[in-house]
Amino acid sequence: MKFIFKILLLLPGFILGQNNHLESYIPFDSCKFSSHPILEIKVWVHVLQQSAETPKNITKDSSHFIDEQFQWINKIYSNLKPPSRNNSNNERPYVKDSRIQFLVDTISYHIDSNGWERMEIVMEKDTNRWLEILEINADSNTITIKGVKNNFRPILDSLKVFGTNSNNGILHTLYAKKEGRNTVIYIKETLKVSEGREGFISYFKKVDKNCNKDNWVKFANENKEFLHVFYTGASSSVPAFGCGPSPFYLNVSKFLDNGRYATAQLTAHELGHCIGLRHTNTPQFSDLPRKDKFGWVNCNSNNVSNNIMGYNLCRNYLSPMQIGHIHYRYSTINELSLTTNNLMSNSSKIVIKKNTNWDKNILSKGTLIIKKNKTLTISKNLLMPKKGVIVLEKNSKIIVDGGRIYSPSKNWNGVIRKKGKAENKKWHCRKKVNSQIVLLNNGEISY
Ligand SMILES: [Zn+2]
């Protein structure tokens, strides 16, 4: 009987498989907010305008769009929907509230056409990259260029021909094929007979700065205390797009050309990349489906998930392990914890009202109070925010058992011992009953 019970207890861990360490970081509905606090990531929004006259972006007068975006994004993260389909274990694991929120701390406006432009189609100006014309043949309506250009697919299929006797100008390609050591391009327009100088071809190319860090360098000085979101633009005719290559910045372009809720969904996805998630076409964690069909189709119970990290039209689910992974990272990697909300406020108090053992990393906020006669045991890391403080009430105890209490920002205010009233009055004639700090197994408190 006892044996069977033990097997049942072990079963969930067995099913979760290789990502066991994440389990204690998953904020199941029954988890307390003291042990599984809301992870608040500080966001600095930068709006890049093309010019003062034609901003082609949000303006100060339309900054409510930004508030609306983050209200939607936070709603998506706090009100997740159940998964549309079973995962590889034939289950539908579900946590409603990821306890991950994005706090817009600051909004800046910049007029900068380079920063605004994330995708443009430009003529290749580097003459070394131009294509050398060997022959123009009016009979076959082809231009032969030097070298094998296997991947030669000019953007917009447009070429600009220079230096010929009678065929200069913009021409359009039908197709190109290899011929010996050269490439023959079939042209749409009728070519004229050409003799003598044969000239060069330049072509249009796509310049994609979607994932570049240039704006983060220029406008944020590579600051790592916020997640910088750049609302940018693009002169090429594409729908809204984004790229979140770093925990410290992301670009979202053509915001105003898209449905506003669609942009919030897009941004929720890109933010997912920033905070550590990959696409779901191949599973990052064992509680995700083995495959996920991508292609801007509606989610279904068969092969298209509703995962935020998929390419589906629903984007309203994250698996418990995806969520646990984010909480694990932000309470384990010091550099990331600095982008979280570390401001002291009354609402960010953690109060320990009964004996508690934290055997996971905890990203504390503001003040941590251990009530009278209670004990808090720390066996992993407790990360204290800037100006954070631990208050020990009378006869309370903090035990650091093999763990560590410290602040990644290196300026927390340490442990304060609160004295009881009776103790203050006649402490000289009483046996002192005080709070205790106990360090076990190389446990450490660093100021
Ligand atoms: Zn993506």
How far CA 115 is from CA of 64, 93, 207, 253, 285, in Å, comes to 22, 42, 13, 11, 36
Distance from C-alpha of 84 to C-alpha of 305, rounded to nearest angstrom: 6
pLDDT at site 301: 94
CA of 278 to the centre of ligand 1 (A): 7
Q: What is the DSSP string of 265-300?
A: HHHHHHHHHHTT---SSS-SSTTS-S----SSB---
375 CA → ligand 1 middle, Å: 44
pLDDT at residue 421 greater than cutoff 80 = no
Q: What is the pLDDT of residue 154?
A: 57
What's the whole-number average pLDDT of the chain?
Answer: 88
pLDDT confidence of residue 198:
80
CA of 279 to the centre of ligand 1 (A): 6
Find tokens 């309506």 and name the residue: 141
What separation in Å is there between the alpha carbon of 264 and the centre of ligand 1?
14
Mean pLDDT, range 253-261, rounded to an integer: 85
Q: What is the pTM of this model?
A: 0.82
Q: How far is the CA of 246 from the centre of ligand 1 (A)?
A: 12
Q: Does residue 152 register a pLDDT over 80?
A: no
| pLDDT tens per residue, range 294-338 | 998 999 999 999 999 999 999 999 999 999 999 999 999 999 998
What percent of the chain is modeled with pLDDT above 90? 63
Residue 106 alpha carbon to ligand 1 centre in Å: 25
**Mean pLDDT on 276-288:** 96
Q: What is the pLDDT of residues 3-58, one digit of tens each?
A: 444 444 444 444 445 678 899 999 999 998 888 999 999 999 999 999 999 999 99
Ligand 1 centre from 147 Cα, in Å? Answer: 36
Please tell me the distance between residue 254's alpha carbon and the centre of ligand 1 in angstroms: 16
pLDDT for position 2: 42
How many whole angstroms from 315 Cα to the centroid of ligand 1? Answer: 12
pLDDT at 196 over 90: no
